[in-house]
A and B are shown apart, each in its own frame.
Chain A
Amino acid sequence: MTALVEATEMVFRRPGGYALRIPSFSISAGEAVAVLGASGSGKSTLLDLVGGVVRPTSGSLSLFEQSTLDLSYRALDRLRGENVGVIFQEHNLLPFATVYQNVALGVQFSRVRRERVIAPSLSEEITRLLRAMDLDANSLMHRPAHTLSVGQRQRVAAARALLGQPPLIIADEPTSALDEGNQSRFMTLLQEARRSSGAALLFVTHDARLIDGFDQIISLDDPAPTEREDP
């Protein structure tokens, strides 16, 4: 199976700061990978590396079969725009923009991703994804994002991450602001939607209760990733 992400003995050193050692791992197409780690363990830095915002100081990182060391930051930005959907912990949406505009932002900076939109029109595709995330597209589409509940906002962000069928979704503790019932609902919807689109998921969390159903777990507290066997 093609590895979307291939990290080998990666070290990231901040100027004048600490060195973060990341265990070797790879993410294949369609795979769900959870990253577990306490605060300060380097989860966010790992996301920056996989997102191509920073490059490893040593070791190697290959994204979509291209070594990050061979790519300029401009090329890495383009690679991210084309291939990665991102869901933040919170503040995912532009509060002043409508739900439609927020979701459409997912394909705004990449022509390639825009061309991958499935439905006949962008509007129909956004409607489809919002419904996939159990949102009433008709009533929400033109509402400003700041009028949504926290749970709705996270699901809109998930719809945006899925727009244009990126092969990899990065989620940075997207459930941390949700209550338990909404956490479970969000995880179910996200997993179903990304499975149907065939996207891999790199899910960062400090909550071990959320890692059920993941194919691989990377613990940043351990020196090596833990492979999970399918039940």
Chain B
Amino acid sequence: MMLGVTLRSMLGRKLSLAMTVLTLALSVALFMTIERLRVAVRDSFDGTISGVDVLVGARGSDLGLLLYTAFQIGDASPSMRWSSFLEVEQDDRVGWAVPISLGDSHRGYRVVATTSAYFDHVRTGRDRPLGFTAKNEALLNGFGVVLGAQVARTLGYQIGAAITVQHGLASAGDSSHKHQPFIVTGILEPTGTPNDYSLFVHIRAFEAIHEGWNGSVPSQGPDRHAGAEDRLAIDLSGPEFEPSRMTAVYVGLKSKRRIFQFIEDIEDRSRKEPLTGVLPGITLSHLWVLVGSAENALLIFSVLIVVVALAGQMTLLVATQDLRRREIAIYRAMGAQPMTIAGLLVTESAVIGVVAAVAGVVLTLLGTWLAGQVLGGYLKLDLNAFMLTTSQAQALVAFISVSVLAGLIPAVMAYRSSLQDGMRARF
């Protein structure tokens, strides 16, 4: 019954307590959302091209090449020759090589020009192959296009839909290739990586729509008036559709032991075209070192907000002590010992802490869902699936513990005033 009385006592001060709980819950939600974003960013980056051993591109910055090619962030990297791709592909040490060419978009989503081998070799998450929620046999044949999950969901495309791509990343208006539609042949399962926000076309089709492109003059291209099925059957194997330049190559080696020798050879300055070889995992670890201090600063900032909110809780409990002396005097008259009175205050703090923690988790769910809706496409992150991680659960337990500790000072005050007041509250 004492818990019932404590809860009723708290309800008697519901407005001030609700404000305190809300402040605490918001601080918890802020902390957890930041942590969720941090984890989502790392998961997304680490899981985007987990099956790729080496990323090869034109000579330049390792990080710039990786960010632009795999994550579609930053300025465009210099292009490399198609002949260099063929050399890499034919290297004895190479198990597979997938060409990547970037530059066009569809309604704000990037178009990745590649080959069907992309879906066979590129892995996401922890070595998970790319799966399809829907596909037909054509995939990247002819002018087929495979959509990332988020693209299909947001734009409502189904298999068989005809879409056109445009130069650059303009989200609307520019229909540079409107006479060269692609036919949707597959929709990828969600991956929580930039793949979800990409469209995949064959690199030869990509070359074909740019055939004859010269500045602002639209492409003529092959069979541009063909119907949907015909467009998938268009033969693009001819030498005229072989691209001359491309952005990068994803490489899988037969043996990981020869990876450093392979990179050394790739970067050999005596080559016809010196290239850059990037180990995605190591380059990403460099990125995390770079952004780590910013992450820590953000984390410290959010922890400080939680601390300030806890100080607010303590202030409220201390401020209401005087108003509660009558209540405490009644408990004392009934035989409650000062330690029992202090225990009631600590229980109250624990209730506040638990309610705030639960409300914080609910707000985090709401916040990440909203962030997923509003920012998901922009950040290319999957924020909808919220799982309470071990570190977040530990942080919640720590928060509730500190919340209980914050009740100790008012509890000690109540203990002392109950000794002084005895059975009567003196006003």
A interface residues with partner B (beta carbon < 8 Å): 44, 47-48, 51, 53-54, 74, 77-78, 80-82, 84, 86, 88, 91-98, 101, 104-106, 108-110, 113, 172
**B337 lies within 8 A of A74 (CB):** yes
Is B374 interfacial (CB-CB < 8 Å)? Answer: no
Please determine whether A101 and B5 come into contact, CB atoms closer than 8 angstroms.
Answer: yes
In the docked arrangement, what's the CA distance between A86 and B330, Å? Answer: 9
Number of A-B contacts (CB under 8 A): 80
A48: chain B residues within 8 A (beta carbon): 422-424
CB-nearest residue of chain B relative to A122?
B1
B178 lies within 8 A of chain A by Cβ: no
Chain B interface (Cβ within 8 Å of chain A)?
1-2, 4-5, 8-9, 11-12, 326-327, 329-338, 340, 422-425
> Are B424 and A105 neighbours in the complex by a CB distance under 8 Å?
no
In the complex, which of the residues A47, A94, A98, A113 contacts B423, with contact meaning CB atoms closer than 8 Å? A47
In the complex, the chain A residue whose C-beta lies closest to that of B2 is: A108
Q: From A172, which residue of chain B is reached at the shortest CB distance?
A: B424
Evaluate contact between B337 and A86: CB separation under 8 angstroms.
no
Q: Which residue of A has the minimal Cβ distance to B12?
A: A96
Interface contact B335-A110, CB-CB below 8 Å: yes
| B residues less than 8 Å from A105 (CB atoms) | 5, 330-331, 334
State whether A104 touches B333 (Cβ < 8 A).
Answer: no
- Knowing A48-B422, A86-B423, A172-B424, the reply to whether A109 touches B4 (Cβ < 8 A) is no
Contact call B330/A82, Cβ cutoff below 8 A: no
User: With contacts A48-B422, A54-B422, A172-B424 known, is A86 near B333, CB below 8 A?
Assistant: yes
A108-B12 contact, Cβ under 8 Å, with A51-B422, A86-B423 = no
B423 near A109 with CB under 8 A, answer no
Which residues of A are found within 8 Å of B423, using beta-carbon distances? 47-48, 51, 53, 86, 88
Determine whether the beta carbon of B5 is less than 8 Å from that of A94. Answer: yes
In addition to A77-B338, A80-B335, 8 A-B residue pairs with Cβ atoms within 8 Å of each other are A51-B333, A51-B423, A80-B333, A86-B333, A91-B330, A97-B9, A104-B1, A108-B336
Measured CA separation A97–B8 after assembly (Å) = 6
Contacts of A104 in B (CB 8 A): 1
Main secondary structure of the interface of B (DSSP, over half): helix
Query: In the complex, are the beta carbons of A109 and B422 less than 8 A apart?
Result: no
A-B contact pairs, 20 of them (CB 8 A): A47-B423, A48-B423, A51-B333, A54-B422, A77-B336, A77-B338, A78-B335, A81-B335, A86-B334, A86-B423, A88-B423, A88-B424, A91-B330, A91-B425, A94-B8, A94-B9, A106-B334, A109-B335, A109-B340, A110-B334
- Name, among B12, B333, B336, B423, the residue most crowded by chain A CB atoms within 10 Å (CB to CB): B333
The CA of A172 and the CA of B330, in the complex, are separated in Å by 13
Closest to A86 in B: B333
Instruction: Give the distance to chain A from B133, nearest Cβ to Cβ, in Å.
Output: 56
**Contacts known (A44-B424, A108-B2); A96 close to B8, Cβ less than 8 A:** yes
CA distance A44 to B4 in the complex (A): 31
Q: Are B1 and A101 in contact (CB under 8 A)?
A: yes
A165 CB, min distance to chain B CBs, angstroms: 14
Task: Report whether A95 and B12 are in contact in the complex, using a CB–CB cutoff of 8 Å.
Answer: yes
Considering the complex, give the chain A residue whose CB is closest to the CB of B333. Answer: A86
A101 touches B9 (CB 8 A): no
Residue of B nearest to A113 (CB): B335
Nearest-neighbor residue (CB-CB) of A144 within chain B: B8
Please, which residue of chain A has its CB at the minimum distance from the CB of B13?
A: A96
What B residues does A94 contact at CB under 8 A? Answer: 5, 8-9, 327, 330
Q: Tell me whether A96 and B333 are in contact (CB under 8 A).
A: no
Nearest 7 A-B pairs (CB), nearest first?
A81-B335, A96-B12, A53-B422, A86-B333, A109-B335, A77-B337, A109-B336
Query: What residues of B have a CB within 8 angstroms of the CB of A91 in the complex?
Result: 326, 330, 425
The minimal Cβ–Cβ distance linking A12 to chain B, given in whole angstroms, is 12
User: What are the residues of chain A within 8 A of B333 when measuring CB–CB?
Assistant: 51, 80, 86, 88
Q: Are B332 and A53 in contact (CB under 8 A)?
A: yes
Report Cα–Cα, A74/B338, bound state, in Å.
9
The answer to whether A108 and B334 have CB atoms under 8 Å apart is: yes
**Complex formed: what's the CA distance from A153 to B244 in Å?**
94
Q: Is the CB of A109 within 8 A of B334?
A: yes
A172 to B426, CA, bound (A): 14
Complex CA distance for A183 and B385, rounded to whole angstroms: 67
Shortest B68–chain A CB gap in Å is 63
A81: chain B residues at CB < 8 Å are: 334-336
Quick one: which of A51, A96, A108 contacts B1, CB cutoff 8 A?
A108
Query: Whose C-beta in chain B lies nearest to the C-beta of A74?
Result: B337
For residue B12, give the distance in angstroms from its CB to the closest CB of chain A.
Answer: 3
In the complex, which of the residues A81, A84, A110 has the most CB atoms of chain B within 10 Å of its own CB atom?
Answer: A81
**Given A74-B337, A77-B335: A96 and B330 interface contact (C-beta under 8 Å):** no
Complex: A81 Cα to B422 Cα, angstroms:
13
Task: Give the residues in chain A near B4, CB-CB below 8 Å.
Answer: 101
Shortest Cβ distance from residue B218 to the other chain A in the assembled complex, whole angstroms: 76
Expressed in whole angstroms, the Cα–Cα distance for A155 and B266 within the complex equals 95
Q: Which of A54, A77, A78, A82 has the most CB of B within 10 A?
A: A77
A101's contact among B8, B11, B331, B425, by CB below 8 Å, is which? B8
Taken together as a complex, chains A and B put the C-alpha atoms of A88 and B336 apart, in Å, by 16
Give the residues in chain B near A106, CB-CB below 8 Å.
334
- Complex interface: chain A residues within 8 A of B327 (CB): 94
Residue with the highest number of chain A CB atoms closer than 10 Å, among B8, B335, B422? B335
Task: Identify the closest chain A residue to B9 (Cβ).
Answer: A96
**Shortest Cβ distance from A109 into B: residue:** B335
**B contact residues around A47 at 8 Å (CB):** 423-424
